[in-house]
Chains A and B, each alone.
Chain A
């Protein structure tokens, strides 16, 4: 008798908690969907608008669906309308940006890896100070270095050029990349380096043969970071370059702000998406390789 009483009350409790759980779960989904739509909304507007004709934009609402897959504004954003002066389009600047971002990411990552390696595995007197000053570089605001950097580029004769921008971004990136690699290499046992030295490997051999092959996770992190920073940079680009040497973000700005006639929202939106696509690609591609713990197990049991 007592047993059945007990079990029925348990059943009731179970039922009750089931309803509570169900409610909480639905509430959770509701919140998540709400936030997701909040973030997706601007993108939706951008994509939809870029696919509309100017006619549709003037007549329809912001949220309305485009009448068809109208890619003309994308073509205009990328390649222009084909008439001479005053026609700004993204293609040349896109390649400018590529020419800037690839070497800048490569050099800053490589140099960061090297300095990180030296600061952790080839300790020298005062290395902590060197690291501290490098760290300092992370906190210097972009604006503070504009004038001295402009002067430097002038002296070197590479102002208003892609090469100049590569230099600026590489130098400005080193503190960050060094920080990344240093923190990664700190956790790599120094005994690896000792073992390699006894085996007869030198400074560079140890770096290229032993450390670099296990650095994939941190290289990916650094590349994502640097690529995003450099690709999305507007300040350095607009300060140290103009006209034909400008990177895509500057060109985008010029295109959107300096149009004299009617605002072509569809072209503007398509341009903005084009300018944002490469970073997305890097995230999607590199994110897959973002696997931690490649060294795990190699050292300790």
Chain B
């Protein structure tokens, strides 16, 4: 039984296609993050799961029960919004129990739930206050509390941390993580922040233009991006994508960047399809953090590159190098001194490469 299953789901607003043939499954207790740039359809998908948006095609199942036409209140879900959406005229207590009252829950049960949740979230001192008298973090807590008291099957979070300042955001992120660890409820969480996605999710679904690009564990998303979009979207600075061709000679495969004769051997790479690799136009992907200043593995590949630009950001520095007239970035500790406009010896970690077809932009 899947806690949530989405099947061939499509959604248009007029002639604009927002979601195209989405398929998604979540097991009980998982934390799924929908990640993507603004306008990719992730919030629409969340609203559809909540039942706040209608579906053009496809179905949504919660616990194997088709809820596609079921009212939001009957879906056994709870949602936390970006703006918290606390009812301004009600105090914290009324906000938290509003849903239970609507559901005609017994008074004792309401009191019991309220006490449990407000203690748990440490808002039991604030019950009589109005939302306008709370700080950002407190409002966030109350909004989560309002979701918690209903004991839903699935929690939906719509960018809940975007309104908080940087420091509080990190704090609340940890609290949400703790919350999930303790309660083990299934969560669907929408964000455009990759750090949030990586640190919170047990699974991440990266979306772009209404299509899920990759749905995988955070490790796989980072290490084995399934296409150039994911490779580019995850990581800061994003993955270097060097354009060039593959050459296959006597069973060995080499990569040559366009406009250079320099060959990088491709060993131990798990190709999806080993046939017709010769002369294939590809992007050679390597993350900035996998370019080293000192050789650290036996398989590291030595290159000499000219440094063009240095960006100092405290604990580290981002250097721009010229690789056959293509810019590539590398990340080093800021203690290393590198001279600009001079050739520097660097090491590529070839165990961390990703190769993409230049035409389809898919991983090969």
Contacts and interface: CB of A to CB of B under 8 A. Distances in A.
B163 interface: yes
Interface string B70-108: 011100011101111111110000000011001100000
A298 interface: yes
Contacts, number: 84
A298 B130 contact: yes
A200 B102 contact: yes
Interface residues of B, number: 34
B132 interface: yes
B331 interface: no
A198 B73 contact: yes
A34 interface: no
Contacts of A205: 102
Interface string A141-182: 000000000000000000000000000000000000000000
B85 A299 contact: yes
B79 A195 contact: yes
B88 A295 contact: yes
Contacts of A298: 86-88, 130-132
A62 interface: no
Contacts of B235: none
B102 A195 contact: no
Contacts of A3: none
Interface in B84-142: 84-89, 98-99, 102-103, 130-133, 135-136, 139
A191 interface: yes
Given A194-B52, A300-B163, A301-B139, A199 B130 contact: no
A163 B96 CA distance: 45
Contact of B78 (A198, A210, A214, A301): A198
A214 B85 CA distance: 13
Nearest to B81: A191
Interface in A253-301: 294-301
B132 A297 contact: yes
Q: Of residues A195, A209, A299, which shows the largest number of chain B Cβ atoms within 10 Å of its Cβ?
A: A195
Interface string B43-60: 000010011100000000
A210 B87 contact: yes
A189 interface: yes
Contacts of B158: 191
B103 A200 contact: yes
Contacts of B86: 195, 298-299
A191 B82 contact: yes
22 contacts: A191-B81, A191-B158, A194-B47, A194-B79, A194-B85, A195-B85, A195-B87, A196-B87, A198-B50, A198-B72, A198-B73, A199-B99, A199-B102, A199-B146, A200-B99, A200-B103, A214-B88, A297-B132, A299-B86, A300-B83, A301-B135, A301-B163
Given A200-B73, A300-B163, A301-B136, 14 more contacts: A191-B82, A192-B85, A192-B87, A195-B79, A197-B73, A198-B51, A198-B72, A198-B99, A199-B73, A209-B87, A210-B87, A214-B89, A298-B130, A299-B86
